[in-house]
Amino acid sequence: MLPSASPRQRDHRRHPERMNDRDCHNRVASVLVIRWLFISWLTNAVVLGLAGWILSGVTFGGSGWTVIWSAAVFGVLNTILKPLLKLLTLPLAVITLGLVWFFVSMLMLWLTQLIISGFAIHGFWNYVWATIIVWAANLVLDFLFRGDRGRTAAATA
């Protein structure tokens, strides 16, 4: 037998405008997270395209969709895999004063290249410069939208 909803829950379903503060904070947090992910994805698409325009060794197979899909895959890798790799490489980061995390970022670009068939980076120095370009753009993005991320964390706490 399924448990029935409490009177408060039933009232909330009948009158969605009667949300409590926690529901309101959760909704605001969700909107902020979605906005942050969209801005991050769009920025990565522009930055990867810029890297391809600046560096002759970064190519996208002639399609704008390749840039968009590359940015999406790159964003997913940075969101899911990169934090795990940073945690695993923490001892090396202490020894190398964080330099190993630059190579973790390069690895994210390399994995993106493996997954997206039209995206290619030719040569070590193109990887280095593409990583620097992406890192600098994301640094600016973090600086500009740092307040939104803090409000998101506070709203979900």
Would you say 86 and 93 are in contact if contact means Cβ atoms under 8 Å apart? yes
Show contacts of 71-77: CB within 8 Å, 24+ apart. Answer: 71/41, 71/42, 71/44, 71/45, 72/41, 73/112, 73/115, 73/116, 74/44, 74/48, 74/108, 74/109, 74/112, 74/134, 75/37, 75/40, 75/41, 75/44, 77/108, 77/111, 77/112
Threshold 0.85, pTM exceeds? no
Mean pLDDT of 55-64: 88
- Residue 122 phi, psi (nearest 5): -105, 115
Tell me the per-residue pLDDT of 89-144, one tens digit each, with 9 for 90 and over.
999 999 999 999 999 999 999 999 999 999 999 999 999 999 999 999 888 877 88
| Residues 63, 19: Cα–Cα separation, whole Å | 46
Mean pLDDT of 82-88: 94
